[in-house]
Amino acid sequence: MSFEKVWDVVHADNADAALLRYQQLRRDEETAAQSFATDSVVSNLLSLLSR
């Protein structure tokens, strides 16, 4: 996952938009290992943003 994609998720209008964008990115992911790493990173970012 590129930094640009992570940036798009972090700077989405709100948590719902970020989650939708994230789910879209997950469908685009090809490798299970990458997806697993991305899951933990993005879920941590979303939890920080939603506090």
Residue with tokens 């798009």: 8
According to the model, what pLDDT value does residue 23 have?
Answer: 80
- Domain count for the chain, please give it: 1
pLDDT band at 4 (very low <50, low <70, confident <90, very high): confident
Sort 13 into a burial class: Cβ within 10 Å, 0-12 / 13-18 / 19+.
Answer: exposed
Domain hosting residue 26, numbered range: 3-49
Residue-wise pLDDT for 16-51, tens only, equals: 777 887 887 777 765 655 667 778 888 888 888 887
pTM: 0.32
